[in-house]
Amino acid sequence: MVIMRACSGSSATTITAEQAVKLMAHLETFKDGALVPYFALTLFAGIRPCICTGEILKLRPEHVRLDSGVIHIEPEVSKVRMKRLVTIQPNLAAWLQSYLLARFPIIPVNMGKLRLDVFKAFSLTHDVMRHTFISMFVAKFRSMGEAALQAGNSESISGPESVRLPAWSALPCANRPSN
């Protein structure tokens, strides 16, 4: 078991690049990778993670455009009812190419229990993946404004909580061939 902790100096709970690597490696072997798309989209694209009312619940495979490198968050999907575009970073592209949404649904059957099992095993909190996305984005691109746009927040919400974190380049891509 890996215990996830808030990074020091952060007002939002995040996980480190090393913790994200361990989490994603575990997910590849857990239930044949069924949860990889959910966790990849919430961790590497900042999609709001609630499986009852969050954006992830309303997100459809056709919104995730690997061909153009953009996720279209339509107003009916967005918490704030405004369209936004999220750039698919190389690590997310690698995960989604290995776990194609046509074969691996964003929200698989029995998602509530499966997600809870992972959250308990890794001591994850509700928005930790989304907060990690925002923090890593700011660390890599040095732009709270762009992080806010990508995440669908105002700059005051995205804040400078953990710009000391290593950028996503520290996270390995999927090491499994395309399915």
Phi/psi of residue 176, each to 5°? -105, 140
Predicted TM-score (pTM) of this structure: 0.84
Indicate the length of the chain as a whole number: 179
166 pLDDT band, cuts 50/70/90, is very low
Predicted local confidence at residue 153, as pLDDT: 82
Q: What is the mean pLDDT of residues 75-83?
A: 93
8 pLDDT band, cuts 50/70/90, is very low
DSSP-assigned beta bridge partners for residue 73? 84
The DSSP letter of residue 127 is T
Residue 153: strand, helix, or coil: coil
Predicted local confidence at residue 85, as pLDDT: 97
Which domains, and CATH codes, for the chain? 17-170 (1.10.443)
**CA–CA dist 113, 28 (Å, integer):** 17
Pair 101, 33: CB distance under 8 Å: no
Highest mean pLDDT among 1-15, 71-85, 152-166: 71-85
**CA–CA dist 67, 164 (Å, integer):** 32
pLDDT tens per residue across span 95-128: 999 999 999 999 999 999 999 999 999 999 999 9
